[in-house]
Amino acid sequence: MIINVRTTQDQQFIDITSQVRQFVEQEGLQDGCVVVYVPHTTAGVTINENSDLTVPRDILTTLNKVFPVTGDYRHLEGNSHAHIKASLVGSSCTVLVENGQLQLGTWQGIFFCEFDGPRQRRVQLKAIASR
């Protein structure tokens, strides 16, 4: 399944937990895992706190301090900072599913991470059932 994500800012975190839960329900996955994959070189996916919206802001602020938008980069497109951030955050995550429920911690959510927006993006989901 593919989730289409429309980002509205140059850098932002978008909580996609509800869409992943919906996918698990639609697939009828009771036990196994779901793989969340982002097929883009300037975007990623991460699991982090989703109850306090300042956490994603703090992550982006810190990433921008370490890897500013402008710097001594050689990549001609001018988005090297986004490639670096996407590499560090990662392009996939796997979440266990038990009794049809994502096994996320109390404060955890799944975030699509945009580093070179705004853009139309895709997130691919794959259910893997336990035997």
Structural domains of the chain, ranges and CATH numbers in brackets? 2-129 (2.60.120.460)
Half-sphere exposure of 18 (CA within 13 A, CB side): 3
The reported pLDDT for the residue numbered 71 is 85
> Where does the chain show beta strands of DSSP type E?
2-6, 12-15, 32-37, 43-49, 92-98, 101-102, 108-114, 120-129
Report pLDDT for 100.
98
Give the span between the Cα atoms of 88 and 29, in whole angstroms: 30
Q: Please answer whether residues 47 and 93 qualify as being in contact, where contact means their C-beta atoms are separated by less than 8 angstroms.
A: yes
Q: Which region, left, alpha or beta, applies to residue 87 given φ > 0 means left and ψ of -120 to 50 means alpha?
A: alpha
How confident is the prediction along the chain (131 residues), in pLDDT tens digits per residue?
999 999 999 999 999 999 999 999 999 999 999 999 999 999 999 999 999 989 999 999 999 999 998 888 888 788 999 999 999 999 999 999 999 999 999 999 999 999 999 999 999 999 999 98
Query: Nearest Cα to 69, choosing from 115, 111, 8, 120?
Result: 115
